[in-house]
Structure 1
Amino acid sequence: MMLFNTHYAFSQQIQCNSQVLAEINQSITVDGVLDEPSWKQATKMLLAYENNPGEGTPAPVKTEVYFYQDGTYLNVAFKAYDPNPELIRASLRDRDALWADDNVGIIIDTFNDERGAYEFFVNPLGAQADMKMDDTDGWNEDDSWDAIWDSAGKITDFGYVVEMSIPFSSLRFAETQEEKVWNVAGWRNYPRDVRIQMATYKRDRNIKCNLCQFQQLVGLQNIKAGNNFQLTPTLTLSKQDEKPEVPGDWQSGSVDVEPGLDIRWGITQDIVLNATINPDFSQVEADAGQLDVNNTYSLFFPEKRPFFLDGASYFDTANFNFVHTRNIAEPDVGAKVTGKTNDHSYGVMLANDNNTSFLMPGNQGSDIATLDEKSEVAIARYKMDVGERNNIGVLMTHRQASHYNNTLLSVDGSYWISQRDNISYQVARSETDNPELVVEEFDVNKEQSDQALSINYSHSTRDYNLRANYSNIGEDFRADLGFESRSNIERVVLGGNRYYYGDEEDMFTRWGYFGDWDKTYDQDGNMLEEEYEIHGNLQGKKQFYSNFGIVHRKRLYDGEMFDETQFMQFARFRPRRNIELGTFYRFGKQIDFANTRLGDVIDVDPYIEWDVNEHVKIDLNYSYSQLDVNDDRIYTAHQSDLRIGYQFDMRSILKFVVQYTDIERNPDLYIYDDIEDRPDRNSRYFSSQLVYSYKINPQTLFFIGYSDGGYQDDNLDSLERDQRTIFTKFSYAWQL
């Protein structure tokens, strides 16, 4: 107990600056004009400190933040002064896309437990971003969380003004009539030649905890969550045409009409129920393109669907990704309860799935298994906070079909030995019954059971970090509702970082180096890989950032050991205020996995993000890869992902996406036993999407769009479309 008591006293010593939150029974008009009398009585704080690149130095420009609550809303206003208002960076933005702009925000720890917080940010034109922040082991953010709140901004002759009105029903906090204490920080991002960050608190980088350094708002006895019941009916219409044979005629599809209903109920201030009936999980925007060439592992795609994103962090665990809800592809119904009561957080999710697919892991690669049958899904998670910063949790996942089931049970936790030393751990066991299809296709046993273990240690200071990891994943371990693509491995990793700091006047504001050594075996004791890597990093003028280094590894593949040495670099900067340029490249020796031999690889991935004006934004990502063996070209691959957006206003946007992939191979250089395995010389793919959307908030929206796609192989003379779809969706969130 001495450890916990010592940390508590230290934490309270940091948080000595508190203010009473003003309570004023007057609402505001959220218009970016501070003309309500209530603002003169509001609680005021100054963003007096520059915390990046400086470390608690005086802020270079003046910023004021005002708070008050009216019983139903937390009202916040910023006055952001600027000696050169013409240099303010701001565009009309879609949600969570304002980080290249000037912006201000608040970060609120409503449970006063110094473990997590809500973030609300607004740019000078009123664009919104909201996130959840986790501070149990450094500052980690999740922008998938969306709340319903109001904001507005206006550029003025002295800088800009922002107003926010955040309903308490969008937050979770302890349900008590006693006086509440919230840790809070006002924040300002000030991007010029160097990106400067200012806040209401003076940051000490020697302290790993961030929330414990914030100021405090006290009071809040009379706040109400309101009638936290949200009913969101949806209607989706779509029509898809296909070509059964290419080239050939179109086969016209019928119009698919799908009504649905989403329910969100704050049962108490601590507990939220989400339910969905006949949900529409259509993608509003296409996934970012990924070049899948000379790769043996399955690609990862993030979750984007609202039902699964709300409360998703309640199912996270320490060291493994055991819950990846994109595995639940086509549910008819789903229900989820998530909550936090005092030191206890919990979540339960139930759903069905008409498309049963899951990852089949290995130590040389992974694949996807698909069953032509429905399945039922259950996920349960519980975590208990212990002391000031420690925690322990359990997770259960279960997926079942008529001839298949996978069950996983996991225990995880985090323990702080001292202010700078942390151990996190996770141990799990899975039990799987496989159908005959999986047994035959993937050469696995009818019944599989195994365990997985991971232990991490880290020592963190202002100037350096040391880390170590041990992980052991059994050959028959499966996490069919997660994304763990490797099994049959035992791995040790040792590494560290060294940091140096400058200020905004220096050529480089931050620099350092990092590296690690790791060694991996299979469960029979055969070495799979031994790797050394060392990297440097630089950060400075023109918002420049780069990391660069060299990697050398001995690697076993298909029974042969290979030596791979590669140099790589990532760099980005802003030559002008509205343009960001960046690229990643690597070159060196790499295994040709298709033919089990060593080749010479070159990968280049440049990108450009261009705000043409406050309405038009263009993003272009390009990927190039080539592999040579003995000066003969095995393949050359290109991929382009172009996205153009026209933002009419904060609610209305038109987006156009084109993705194109072109892979040229030399079949004569491939090794194969059967002529059917001979690769195509030319493989080309394309897709396009045009979507108009009108969003009042994340749940009340309308969109209409068109998408198509096609391909070309050696049997076709040109690119041919083989599918096209037109779709529209209406949804409206009723706050009852």
Structure 2
Amino acid sequence: MFHRIHILSIILLSNYNYSQEKFIPNKIDEGQITIDGIISEKEWKNAIFVDLDYEVNPGNNIVPKEKTKAYILYSDTHLYIGFYAYAKPSEIRASVRSRDDLGMISDDIVWIAFDTYGDSRNNYILVSNPFGSQLDARAINALTDEDRYDINFNVDHETSGTIVSDGYQVEFKIPFASLPFPNGNNQEWNFNFRRNTFREGIPIELRSQPYDRTAPCQICQTTDKLLLTDIKIEKRVEFLPYLAGNITGSKSNLFDEIKYQKLQPNFGLGFNVDLNKNSSLEVTLNPDFSQVEADVTQIDVNSAVALEYPERRPYFNRGTDIVQYVSGAFYSRSINNPLISTKLISQGKKERLFFLTALDQNSIYQIAGEDRSYLGEGEESFVNVLRYQRLLSKNTRLGFLSTNRYYKNGGYGNLFGTDGWFLLSKNLRFTYEVFLNLNKEPVADWIKSEDNIFGRSVVLDNQNFNGKSLYFQLYRNTEKWRSYLTYRDFSPNFQADVGFVVKNNRRWATLYHTYQVFPNKPALQFLSFGTKADIVYTYEDYLKTISVDAILSVKTLFNTEITYTLDFDAFKNFLGRDYRNLESNRFVIRSSPSESLSLNLNLTVGRDLAYNEAIPEKGKELTFNFIPLIQLSNKLRISPSIRYARLKYLDSDNFYYNGSISRFSIRYQFNNFFNIRIISEYNTFSERFFIQPLIQWNPNPSTVFYIGGNQNSLSEFNDEMYSLFRVDQTQLFLKFQYLLGI
């Protein structure tokens, strides 16, 4: 069967290829290039040149007004790339930023994209602004930028940048040991270069090769060839020890002084070794997975299901692009508090392997229902995750996934499945996911509920059950039209014990169809309008949802994107009750009118249900998130924000809920590695306040030193004395982690 699919893909794509050029750089001795942000003629005299001579946005592969030249050299162990971006210095946007600061997308930046395997599975992205601030990411093929870029991917490399009289210059020094690529001393990689800049406030993107905006696969268009000969492949052997400690203090009564506990020290060790250039083994003992920065609190007052938070732990982010699934089959934060974990990653020319094990000391147990989810935390469990992907051709991939969680005192959750990705033509793509689960509940009191799911009690009482999930999507993109047809199927007893699934018992079809144009005018740079329709049935064949959306999106003056969505639920069934004509209007506005100011506004007005009431009823909804980012200087920025939500009774001035979360952040970036910042937040729903100061030094992706604290108020004291800035509980913490390479 695999052979037939392979032949079919070759036939369908035999007449379809992207343009490409070959570049053979000269080899130099180590130490010839000094990474100081200056393109010295003496140092770079033997470099080959690559011109960025295509404007791909807003122009469509036209000759750009801005001149950009890239330089390439290499040694036995490093690749050297320089950029000379010509511009008026007064028009260059840039700030000194910490590593992987997403604010960099509002700066002038240069990109390097590598597809080292030449198979379009992913692109490795290295980005720098004119001050040498770094952002690196892994790009996969996805429908949106949010899903496409994984900024938790890291490449240990050097950059330096300088603003000069006629533009800016950036130098990259990239160790071959830091990039994944096939075994062998002679390499042929796919690559291209990009530059993002601004012309009279309008964002401009330049590339070193043409870009087809109609293609359904963006990363497939990194096709220029870079040939490197007789390089040295160095195997990494790395140790990552850390030492951490914290002191906590709290009050027993409102007017007591804070009493501090003894210092709680902690230490652990990470170990990473390259088995060969394609494979690495990573082990972590007693890992410290405390986050440097607190999660942005989400408003969950009207959510009937658990909310998903992004993964911020570096260990679980490395290599996990291969286990990203639409159906929620894997969710790394379900591994809550591991005592020990191992991870094997291997990527060859035709296959990829990911194998993760962990002993989780505090297991998360989540049950998905038809309308609600149930969450508990339990005892120890042992976790396995095995993922294998095979490339039948550049345009055909098939994969397998197995996850297992075995609980200490009995019970288990096993999940098995397959997935596939097929580029059927220049404009057409098909993907699928199919999973089966086999479960036996532990006997535990982790979840307390009298609810039942398809005849099975939610209480954990040793029941056996199994389920399935299906996902199919056909996606088409042309110059004028963008469409997809999706079918999702979650059986009533589908559960992913190492995943994130919050609703099941649904058969769900979606049709999305939009028209898009690129006028490339200052006031109208992009326009799209279309519709999305959803219909959902349960396994008992009763209607769950009929929803139709009208969507309008424009890009206009002041680097502004505006999206309006009219979401009309003609019919919705929730907890067995039928509701009709639920309409909401959603506005999303993102704007970066200048280097000093960026704005993000989300506004929803309409009608929704009070989902957490005993008998849910309709109400008048108003929610908005307003997040401005103000750059006061190249090194100082502030970001106040507010998230507000209310649901008002239809027939009175009373509210089902009414509250907000206010947050304020200030950061001073001394250089690319060292910063100090303070975050404060006040939550009116819980009536709690916290403030978190932090000093951080982060010279590379793994080495870090920070010292900071958390100061909180406790809501139980509010009746005795209400004060916005009262501190009832405090924590001081520090951590030093240093990467040792052998």
Tell me the TM-score normalized by structure 2.
0.92
The corresponding residue for 2:682 is 660
- Separation in structure 2 between the aligned mates of residue 414 and residue 212 of structure 1, nearest angstrom: 13
Q: Residues 603, 138 of structure 1: CA spacing in aligned structure 2 closer, same or farther, 3 A cutoff?
A: closer
Q: Structure 2 matches for 1:254-653, cutoff 5 A?
A: 254-317=262-325, 319-371=326-378, 373-401=379-407, 402-436=409-443, 437=445, 441=449, 443-444=457-458, 446-503=463-520, 505-553=521-569, 554-563=571-580, 564-593=582-611, 594=613, 595-629=615-649, 630-634=651-655, 635-653=657-675
- Separation in structure 2 between the aligned mates of residue 110 and residue 33 of structure 1, nearest angstrom: 27
Task: Kindly provide the amino acid, as one letter, of the partner of residue 316 in structure 2.
Answer: F
Task: Kindly state the Cα deviation for residue 574 of structure 1 after the two structures are TM-superposed.
Answer: 2.8
Q: What is the alpha-carbon root mean square deviation over aligned residues?
A: 2.0
User: Do the aligned residues in 1 keep the contact of 2:99 with 2:673 (CA within 8 Å)?
Assistant: no
Task: Kindly state the Cα deviation for residue 248 of structure 1 after the two structures are TM-superposed.
Answer: 5.6
**1:691 is the counterpart of 2:694:** yes
- Separation in structure 2 between the aligned mates of residue 251 and residue 435 of structure 1, nearest angstrom: 39
- Separation in structure 2 between the aligned mates of residue 412 and residue 5 of structure 1, nearest angstrom: 20
User: Do the aligned residues in 2 keep the contact of 1:289 with 1:641 (CA within 8 Å)?
Assistant: no
**1:15 is the counterpart of 2:19:** yes
- Separation in structure 2 between the aligned mates of residue 689 and residue 20 of structure 1, nearest angstrom: 51
User: Do the aligned residues in 1 keep the contact of 2:93 with 2:108 (CA within 8 Å)?
Assistant: yes
Task: Kindly provide the amino acid, as one letter, of the partner of residue 404 in structure 1.
Answer: G
Task: Kindly state the Cα deviation for residue 549 of structure 1 after the two structures are TM-superposed.
Answer: 2.1
Aligned residues: 711
Q: Structure 2 matches for 1:181-220, cutoff 5 A?
A: 181-192=188-199, 193-220=201-228
- Separation in structure 2 between the aligned mates of residue 494 and residue 419 of structure 1, nearest angstrom: 21
- Separation in structure 2 between the aligned mates of residue 623 and residue 550 of structure 1, nearest angstrom: 21
User: Do the aligned residues in 2 keep the contact of 1:314 with 1:338 (CA within 8 Å)?
Assistant: no
Q: Residues 400, 242 of structure 1: CA spacing in aligned structure 2 closer, same or farther, 3 A cutoff?
A: farther
Task: Kindly state the Cα deviation for residue 349 of structure 1 after the two structures are TM-superposed.
Answer: 0.4
Question: CA-to-partner distance for each residue in 1:83-124, whole Å, 9 max, x for gaps?
Answer: x21111111101122111111121011011122111101000
1:88 to 83, 89, 92: 92
Task: Kindly state the Cα deviation for residue 38 of structure 1 after the two structures are TM-superposed.
Answer: 4.1
Task: Kindly provide the amino acid, as one letter, of the partner of residue 88 in structure 1.
Answer: I
Question: CA-to-partner distance for each residue in 1:473-502, whole Å, 9 max, x for gaps?
Answer: 111111121112111111111111211102
- Separation in structure 2 between the aligned mates of residue 412 and residue 214 of structure 1, nearest angstrom: 24
Question: CA-to-partner distance for each residue in 1:13-47, whole Å, 9 max, x for gaps?
Answer: x3342121322224322110123734111121000
- Separation in structure 2 between the aligned mates of residue 114 and residue 501 of structure 1, nearest angstrom: 26
**Further displaced range: 91-100 or 150-159:** 91-100
The corresponding residue for 2:135 is 129
User: Do the aligned residues in 1 keep the contact of 2:115 with 2:222 (CA within 8 Å)?
Assistant: no
**1:147 is the counterpart of 2:155:** yes
1:50 to 47, 55, 65: 55
User: Do the aligned residues in 2 keep the contact of 1:234 with 1:729 (CA within 8 Å)?
Assistant: yes
1:227 to 220, 230, 235: 235
User: Do the aligned residues in 2 keep the contact of 1:180 with 1:220 (CA within 8 Å)?
Assistant: yes
The corresponding residue for 2:28 is 24
User: Do the aligned residues in 2 keep the contact of 1:521 with 1:529 (CA within 8 Å)?
Assistant: yes
Task: Kindly provide the amino acid, as one letter, of the partner of residue 598 in structure 2.
Answer: E
Q: Residues 722, 332 of structure 1: CA spacing in aligned structure 2 closer, same or farther, 3 A cutoff?
A: farther
- Separation in structure 2 between the aligned mates of residue 59 and residue 136 of structure 1, nearest angstrom: 27
Task: Kindly state the Cα deviation for residue 272 of structure 1 after the two structures are TM-superposed.
Answer: 1.3
User: Do the aligned residues in 1 keep the contact of 2:9 with 2:423 (CA within 8 Å)?
Assistant: no
Task: Kindly state the Cα deviation for residue 733 of structure 1 after the two structures are TM-superposed.
Answer: 0.7
Task: Kindly state the Cα deviation for residue 384 of structure 1 after the two structures are TM-superposed.
Answer: 0.6
- Separation in structure 1 between the aligned mates of residue 121 and residue 465 of structure 2, nearest angstrom: 37
Task: Kindly provide the amino acid, as one letter, of the partner of residue 106 in structure 2.
Answer: A
Task: Kindly provide the amino acid, as one letter, of the partner of residue 49 in structure 1.
Answer: Y
The corresponding residue for 1:241 is 249
- What is the SS of the residue equivalent to 1:5? helix
- Separation in structure 2 between the aligned mates of residue 53 and residue 591 of structure 1, nearest angstrom: 41
Question: CA-to-partner distance for each residue in 1:607-639, whole Å, 9 max, x for gaps?
Answer: 101111011111122111121111322131111
User: Do the aligned residues in 2 keep the contact of 1:544 with 1:571 (CA within 8 Å)?
Assistant: yes
The corresponding residue for 1:718 is 722
Q: Residues 315, 246 of structure 1: CA spacing in aligned structure 2 closer, same or farther, 3 A cutoff?
A: farther
- Separation in structure 1 between the aligned mates of residue 255 and residue 220 of structure 2, nearest angstrom: 64
- Separation in structure 1 between the aligned mates of residue 122 and residue 439 of structure 2, nearest angstrom: 35
Task: Kindly state the Cα deviation for residue 655 of structure 1 after the two structures are TM-superposed.
Answer: 1.2
- Separation in structure 1 between the aligned mates of residue 163 and residue 117 of structure 2, nearest angstrom: 34
User: Do the aligned residues in 2 keep the contact of 1:152 with 1:162 (CA within 8 Å)?
Assistant: yes
**1:735 is the counterpart of 2:741:** yes
* Runs of at least 5 residues in structure 2 that lack an aligned partner in the other structure: 1-5, 452-456
- What is the SS of the residue equivalent to 2:260? coil
User: Do the aligned residues in 2 keep the contact of 1:242 with 1:251 (CA within 8 Å)?
Assistant: yes
**Further displaced range: 486-495 or 1-10:** 1-10
The corresponding residue for 1:679 is none
Question: CA-to-partner distance for each residue in 1:142-188, whole Å, 9 max, x for gaps?
Answer: 111112110000000010000010101111111124x4321111110
- Separation in structure 1 between the aligned mates of residue 447 and residue 541 of structure 2, nearest angstrom: 25
User: Do the aligned residues in 2 keep the contact of 1:458 with 1:467 (CA within 8 Å)?
Assistant: yes
User: Do the aligned residues in 2 keep the contact of 1:15 with 1:214 (CA within 8 Å)?
Assistant: no
Q: Residues 501, 283 of structure 1: CA spacing in aligned structure 2 closer, same or farther, 3 A cutoff?
A: same
Which runs of 4 or more aligned residues in structure 1 lie more than 6 Å from their structure 2 counterparts after TM superposition?
136-139
Task: Kindly provide the amino acid, as one letter, of the partner of residue 301 in structure 2.
Answer: V
Task: Kindly state the Cα deviation for residue 453 of structure 1 after the two structures are TM-superposed.
Answer: 1.1
User: Do the aligned residues in 2 keep the contact of 1:112 with 1:182 (CA within 8 Å)?
Assistant: yes
Task: Kindly state the Cα deviation for residue 356 of structure 1 after the two structures are TM-superposed.
Answer: 1.0
- Separation in structure 2 between the aligned mates of residue 9 and residue 715 of structure 1, nearest angstrom: 73
- Separation in structure 1 between the aligned mates of residue 141 and residue 231 of structure 2, nearest angstrom: 25
**1:73 is the counterpart of 2:78:** yes
- Separation in structure 1 between the aligned mates of residue 189 and residue 110 of structure 2, nearest angstrom: 19
- Separation in structure 1 between the aligned mates of residue 364 and residue 60 of structure 2, nearest angstrom: 49
User: Do the aligned residues in 1 keep the contact of 2:243 with 2:266 (CA within 8 Å)?
Assistant: yes
Task: Kindly provide the amino acid, as one letter, of the partner of residue 287 in structure 2.
Answer: P
- Separation in structure 2 between the aligned mates of residue 526 and residue 320 of structure 1, nearest angstrom: 22
Q: Residues 370, 455 of structure 1: CA spacing in aligned structure 2 closer, same or farther, 3 A cutoff?
A: same
Identity of counterpart residues, as a percentage?
24
Q: Residues 6, 578 of structure 1: CA spacing in aligned structure 2 closer, same or farther, 3 A cutoff?
A: farther
User: Do the aligned residues in 2 keep the contact of 1:19 with 1:217 (CA within 8 Å)?
Assistant: yes
The corresponding residue for 2:711 is 708
- Separation in structure 2 between the aligned mates of residue 210 and residue 19 of structure 1, nearest angstrom: 22
Q: Residues 474, 576 of structure 1: CA spacing in aligned structure 2 closer, same or farther, 3 A cutoff?
A: same
Tell me the TM-score normalized by structure 1.
0.93
Q: Residues 500, 582 of structure 1: CA spacing in aligned structure 2 closer, same or farther, 3 A cutoff?
A: same
User: Do the aligned residues in 2 keep the contact of 1:3 with 1:418 (CA within 8 Å)?
Assistant: no
Task: Kindly provide the amino acid, as one letter, of the partner of residue 19 in structure 2.
Answer: Q
- Separation in structure 1 between the aligned mates of residue 248 and residue 498 of structure 2, nearest angstrom: 29
The corresponding residue for 1:680 is none
